[in-house]
Structure 1
Amino acid sequence: MIELEGLTKRYGEKVAVNNLTFTVRPGIVTGFLGPNGAGKSTTMRMMLGLDRPTAGDVRIDGKHYDRLKDPLKYIGALLDAKAMHGGRSAFNHLLCLAQSNGIPRARVDEVLDTVGLTAVAKKKAKGFSLGMGQRLGIAGALLGDPRILMFDEPVNGLDPEGIHWIRNLMKSLAAQGRTVFVSSHLMSEMALTADHLVVIGQGRLLADTSMAEFIEQNSRSYVRIRSPQRERLLDVLHGAGITVVETGSGALEVDGGKPEHIGELAAQHQIVLHELSPQQASLEEAFMQLTAESVEYHAHTDPPQEQQPWGDGWKGN
């Protein structure tokens, strides 16, 4: 597991990571979310000993990263797929990593096959596409058969087949009892992959909870109902003390209601229902709701106003 306690990183007056405390546990995929500039990359770099904390502590299976012997056997990471010698072949890049960590040569062939790069093993990495480079980076993370894996934007550059593959790979690794920690901006993909979420904003911890609880706590859930006997249904629901929101589309919405209870009421009064469906926000909507005040960089959809080269009193010729 990965344990952070009071982890803090300052660059001058800028606080990039502010007193983070959380634990990444084995057996599940933990998603790491936050707006741009939230401190995710800095946090992951400190986990791997690439940046030194200003304060606090981070341990990998109870040890500091720099105290791990043959660290690739403890933790494998993909932080930057371009962090490799472009003049080396894929095989030789992995072989160098293996030799530096006491990993058998045969393991290089195994991970190349796992990530689908066996056919290009002898080709130089500088000629790889973004997706191929990403697969090679993932191979490097898997090389030591570690109990802990960290991935930063693992689907970057992958085609749909590759995205499906890495999603199932991460789930499989977690099912084996390994610790899997993944950061991504693709909310739709994270929703399909992660079991647990750690969310930060402006360097501070905003949430450390299960995927289901995160969405429930940070979004509106309701039951949508459609019926050809709309007015009668409204009377029945109001009579049962249920607050109903009428929408312009003709549907009715009940906040926090149970569809089973509403269905039973309708059946008791012989009201036909064309729709009775529980609705919940997506991970993206819940994330936007929670982090709205933590976004550092705001873009605008309105085009800038054309600037005039004169003041109000200038008349021109």
Structure 2
Amino acid sequence: MIELEGLTKRYGEKVAVDDLTFTVRPGIVTGFLGPNGAGKSTTMRMILGLDHPTAGDVRIDGTHYDRLKDPLTYIGALLEAKGAHPGRSAYHHLLCLAQSNGIPTRRVHEVLDAVGLTAVARKKAKGFSLGMGQRLGIAAALLGDPRILMFDEPVNGLDPEGIHWIRTLMKSLAAQGRTVFVSSHLMSEMALTADHLVVIGQGRLLADTSMAEFIERNSRSWVRVRSPQRERLLDVLHQGGITAVESGDGALEVDGSKAEYVGELAARHRLVLHELSPQQASLEEAFMQLTAESVEYHAHTGPPGPPQQWGDGWKRG
């Protein structure tokens, strides 16, 4: 379990992390979301003792990271894909970590096999692709067979097979009762992986809730209904106090009502329905809605105009 209480980090006048309090619990995958510059990486670095908080506290199973004996057996983390020395092979990178943490050599072979790097174990890390570097970083995180795993953007550089593999791995680790804390910008992947979400913006906590509740609270839900008796259906819905709008493809969209009620209403009036389906906005839409005021860098849509439209800050070379 990871516990943060009032965690704060300032760099001069800039507040990178602002009074964060939340708990990452075992047995589930907890997603860590936030716009660029929200303070996610700084928070993770403070959990691992790489950055010292200005105020507040963070504990791993009740203990500060720097007081853990053999820390890799408590918590494994992937923060950077290129964390290995470029002139060292994958095998010797892991062997060095194992020996310095009292981990048996056999474990090196086990994690290399687990992440699919056995065939390139003796190759130097400088020749690894980004995806191979990710796999090596994940192997290092797994090396001590820890109860807590923390991954920062673990799917970067992975192909579809690799993305499916890391998703399955994280779910299986959580199913074993381990604590899994993962940061990612890929909302579609997070929606398939995480059970619980912690969302921050400008260093402050915005949400600490289940995936289902987060989407329900921060996005629109509606019922999509389609019938060959469309005009009569509109009249029936109106009589029942339900407002429906056209979706553009012949279907109707109903806000604020349950699919069961719409179906029962249609059945009472002997209306044929070709479609009756509850709809929910995506995690990405819910995330964008919640964090709209916390985005630090805003880009404009559409192609850039000619230089004279870029503002006074642009100058010719």
Identify the residue that residue 313 of structure 1 maps to in structure 2: none
Sequence identity (%): 87
CA distance in 1, matches of 2:258, 2:221: 10
Identify the residue that residue 164 of structure 2 maps to in structure 1: 164
SS at match of 2:181: strand
Q: CA deviation at 1:306?
A: 2.9
Q: CA deviation at 1:307?
A: 4.5
CA distance in 1, matches of 2:274, 2:195: 33
- Any gaps of 5 or more consecutive residues in structure 2? 310-317
Deviation string 1:225-274 (CA, Å, 9 cap, x unpaired) is 11111111112112222222234433211112111121121112111111
Q: CA deviation at 1:304?
A: 4.0
TM-score by length of 2: 0.95
SS at match of 1:22: strand
Identify the residue that residue 312 of structure 1 maps to in structure 2: none
Identify the residue that residue 81 of structure 2 maps to in structure 1: 81
* AA at the equivalent of 1:190: M
Q: CA deviation at 1:190?
A: 0.4
User: Is 1:125 equivalent to 2:125 in the alignment?
Assistant: yes
CA distance in 2, matches of 1:10, 1:238: 56
* AA at the equivalent of 2:269: H
CA distance in 2, matches of 1:277, 1:306: 46
* AA at the equivalent of 2:216: E
TM-score by length of 1: 0.95
Identify the residue that residue 147 of structure 1 maps to in structure 2: 147
SS at match of 2:21: strand
Counterparts of 1:301-316 in structure 2, within 5 Å, are 301-307=301-307
Identify the residue that residue 234 of structure 2 maps to in structure 1: 234
CA distance in 2, matches of 1:221, 1:283: 12
Q: CA deviation at 1:220?
A: 0.4
* AA at the equivalent of 1:134: Q
Identify the residue that residue 113 of structure 1 maps to in structure 2: 113
Identify the residue that residue 32 of structure 1 maps to in structure 2: 32
Identify the residue that residue 103 of structure 1 maps to in structure 2: 103
Identify the residue that residue 314 of structure 2 maps to in structure 1: none
Give structure 1 regions of 4+ aligned residues with deviation exceeding 6 angstroms. none
SS at match of 1:291: helix
Identify the residue that residue 22 of structure 2 maps to in structure 1: 22
CA distance in 2, matches of 1:51, 1:187: 27
Identify the residue that residue 4 of structure 1 maps to in structure 2: 4
* AA at the equivalent of 1:284: E
Q: CA deviation at 1:308?
A: 5.3
User: How many residue pairs were aligned?
Assistant: 309
SS at match of 2:114: helix
Deviation string 1:80-119 (CA, Å, 9 cap, x unpaired) is 0111111111110000000111100110000000001111
Identify the residue that residue 57 of structure 1 maps to in structure 2: 57
SS at match of 2:123: coil
Q: Alignment RMSD, CA only?
A: 1.2
The answer to which of 175-184 and 223-232 deviates more is 223-232
Identify the residue that residue 42 of structure 1 maps to in structure 2: 42
CA distance in 1, matches of 2:308, 2:83: 47
- Any gaps of 5 or more consecutive residues in structure 1? 310-317
Note closer, same or farther for the CA distance 1:247–1:163 as it changes in structure 2 (3 Å cut). Answer: closer
SS at match of 1:271: coil
Identify the residue that residue 313 of structure 2 maps to in structure 1: none
Deviation string 1:164-214 (CA, Å, 9 cap, x unpaired) is 100000000000000000000000000000000000000000000000000
Note closer, same or farther for the CA distance 1:130–1:308 as it changes in structure 2 (3 Å cut). Answer: closer
CA distance in 2, matches of 1:198, 1:163: 21
* AA at the equivalent of 2:214: F
